Amino acid sequence: MERLVCVNCGAAYPAEQILYNCTACGHLLAVQYDLNKIKVTKKVWNKRPLSVWRYRELLPVHIEPVTMQEGGTPLYHLKRLGDEIGLKELYAKHEGMNPSGSFKDRGMTVGVSMALQLKKRSVACASTGNTSASLAMYAAKAGIPAVVLLPAGKVALGKVAQALMHGACVISIRGNFDRALEMVHELCLSHGLYLLNSINPYRLEGQKTIGFEAIDQLGEVPDRFVLPVGNAGNISAVYKGLLELKDLGFIDSLPMMTGIQAQGSSPIVRAIRENLPEVIPETHPETVATAIRIGAPVNAEKALIAIRKTGGCAEWVTDDEILRMQRDLARKEGIGVEPASAASVAGVRKLVEIGAIDRSERIVCVVTGHLLKDPDTVIKQCEPPTEIDADLPSLLSALQL
Ligand code: F0G
C-alpha cells in the first residue's frame, strides 16, 4: 500500500527496500501512502485509545508492533505562563510522559517494528541521548541487539543510564553527534544493521502522531505548532502527518510550523532568515541543551519546506532563556522537562516579545523530554537541600518559624 519516494526528485522505491537515501540523487526519502485506499474514518480513530497505534492506517507496520504503550501524552493548557506571556491559548504537549521519557518512543515503536517486518536482526543509531535510550528500550522489548554511538561527555546522565541499563552496546566517540551519525550510517551500510536515526523514513512515521494527537485533544487545528529543532526530523514528521490528514479531508488548514533552536547551534534559523536554499552546517555546535547540540541537521531539507510552506518561522533562544523557561515550566506549571524541551516555549516567549506572534493565536508547543533525563543541569540551577539535625527546633529554625 505504501512506497518510498524521494523528496527531491520523486524517484519511487518499493516499501520493503532498505534504503536511507535516494539512489538517484542522494536526497531524503519519505513514506507515501495511497490515500485513496485508506478508508478509515475519524469516528473509528476516536473509538480507540489515544496512542501512536490509534492511527495505524497511516503507519507502515503490518505485523504485530513492538509496543510499550507510547503516545497518549497529556496536552496541558499553560494558564499561568500564558497569562505572563500574553497568550490565552498556549498549550504544551508533554512528550516526556512517554515510556522512555521522550517523543523518540513514537518513532521507535514504528522503527523497531519495521526492523522486524523487514527481517533485520540488529539495530543502531547515533544519538545526543534520547534516541539511544529509546532504541535500547525497544530493542530489549524486541529481543534484538542495539548499537548506539554517543558524543563522549556530551550526553545527559539519565539518557546514558537508560541506554546502558536496557542493554545496548554503548560506544562514546571523541567527536560530536554529526560525526557519530556519519559513522553509524557507514556501519549500517557496510554491516547490515538497521539504521534508526531520523534519516530512516519509517521512524518518522511514528513521530507524526504527535500532531494527530494534539489536534484530537484540542478538538481543532492550532494556529501554530512549535517544536525544538535538532536534527529536524520531528518538525518534518509532524508536518508530513498533517498534510496527510488534510489530503484525507480530516482537517482543512495547516498550522504554522515553527522551529526553535539553541543560539549556539542554529543552522536552520539562519537558513530561514537568510532565505538560503539549504542549511550551512555549523562545525562546532554548542548549547546547554545537549539534545539539540547538532550542527548539520540531516532532515533540514524537509524542515525548510515545512516551515516555508506553512508560513511558519524559525528562531533561536539563548541558553539562559532555555534554562529560565525550564524553571518557569517546572515552578509555574508543574511541568518537568529537560532543557531542549523548554526551548520551544522559550521561543514562543521571544517571538511574542518581538511581535512575531499574534496574541490571539492558539499555540501548541511540543515539550520533548522529561526533566529527569538531565539531572545535572537541574541540580546546577537549584539550591541544594538544607541539611539539619534530626530535631524539631532545627526544622523550625530552618523554616524560619
Ligand atoms: N528535544 C529532545 C529532547 C531531543 O532529544 C531531540 C533530538 C530534539 C528535541 C530535536 O528533535 O532532532 O527531530 O529535531 N534528539 C536526538 C537524539 C537527536 O539523538 O536523541 P529533532
Question: Is 185 part of a structural domain of the chain?
Answer: no
CA–centroid distance, residue 190 to ligand 1 (Å): 26
CA–centroid distance, residue 82 to ligand 1 (Å): 25
Average pLDDT score over the chain: 97
CA–centroid distance, residue 198 to ligand 1 (Å): 9
Cell of 213: 494527537
What does the pLDDT read at residue 226?
98
Phi, psi of 146, rounded to the nearest 5 degrees = -130, 140
Residue 25 neighbours by CB under 8 Å, 6+ apart: 6, 8, 9, 11
Regarding whether 89 and 16 lie in a shared domain, the answer is no
Regarding whether 288 and 224 lie in a shared domain, the answer is yes
**Closest C-alpha among 53, 51, 69, 73 to residue 61:** 53
Regarding whether 23 and 79 lie in a shared domain, the answer is no
7-63 tens-digit pLDDT:
999 999 999 999 999 999 999 999 999 999 999 999 999 999 999 999 999 999 999
Percentage helix, strand, coil for the chain under 3-state DSSP, each rounded to 5: 45, 15, 40
Regarding whether 81 and 13 lie in a shared domain, the answer is no
281-292 tens-digit pLDDT:
999 999 999 999
- In ligand 1, the atom with minimum distance to the C-alpha of 338 is 3
CB 341 within 8 A of CB 96: yes
Question: What does the pLDDT average to over 244-258?
Answer: 98
Question: Is 168 part of a structural domain of the chain?
Answer: no
> What residues line ligand 1, using a CB cutoff of 6 Å?
102, 104, 127-131, 198, 228-234, 291-292, 338, 340-341, 368-369
Regarding whether 89 and 12 lie in a shared domain, the answer is no
Q: Whose CA is nearest to atom 19 of ligand 1?
A: 127
Regarding whether 239 and 312 lie in a shared domain, the answer is yes
Question: Is 230 part of a structural domain of the chain?
Answer: yes
Regarding whether 81 and 31 lie in a shared domain, the answer is no
Question: What does the pLDDT average to over 145-171?
Answer: 98
Question: What does the pLDDT average to over 234-255?
Answer: 98
Whether 144 has a pLDDT exceeding 90, the answer reads yes
Question: Is 353 part of a structural domain of the chain?
Answer: yes
**In which residue are the cell numbers 498533517 written?**
242
Rg (C-alpha) for the chain, rounded Å, is: 21
CA–centroid distance, residue 395 to ligand 1 (Å): 43
CA–centroid distance, residue 233 to ligand 1 (Å): 8
Question: What does the pLDDT average to over 151-177?
Answer: 97
Regarding whether 92 and 19 lie in a shared domain, the answer is no
70-102 tens-digit pLDDT:
999 999 999 999 999 999 999 999 999 999 999
The preferred substitution site among 93, 94, 100, 102 for testing ligand 1, maximizing ligand atoms within 8 Å of CB, is 102
Three-state secondary structure call for residue 9:
coil
334-348 tens-digit pLDDT:
999 999 999 999 999
The angle subtended at Cα 304 by Cα 3 and Cα 198, nearest 5°, is 50
Regarding whether 352 and 293 lie in a shared domain, the answer is yes
Helices of type H across 226-362: 233-247, 267-273, 300-309, 319-332, 339-353
Whether 360 has a pLDDT exceeding 90, the answer reads yes
Q: Which domain holds residue 16?
A: 1-37
Position 175 confidence tier, pLDDT thresholds 50, 70, 90: very high
CB 269 within 8 A of CB 227: no
What does the pLDDT read at residue 317?
98
CA distances from 114 to 10, 121, 136 (A): 23, 11, 15
CATH number of the domain enclosing 360: 3.40.50.1100
Burial class (CB in 10 A: 0-12, 13-18, 19+), 183: middle
Question: Is 236 part of a structural domain of the chain?
Answer: yes
Q: Whose CA is nearest to atom 4 of ligand 1?
A: 291
Regarding whether 92 and 32 lie in a shared domain, the answer is no
206-244 tens-digit pLDDT:
999 999 999 999 999 999 999 999 999 999 999 999 999
Helices of type H across 61-142: 79-85, 104-117, 130-142
What does the pLDDT read at residue 1?
80
Position 391 confidence tier, pLDDT thresholds 50, 70, 90: very high
Regarding whether 94 and 3 lie in a shared domain, the answer is no
Total domains present in the chain: 2
Question: Is 305 part of a structural domain of the chain?
Answer: yes
**Closest C-alpha among 198, 267, 260 to residue 228:** 260
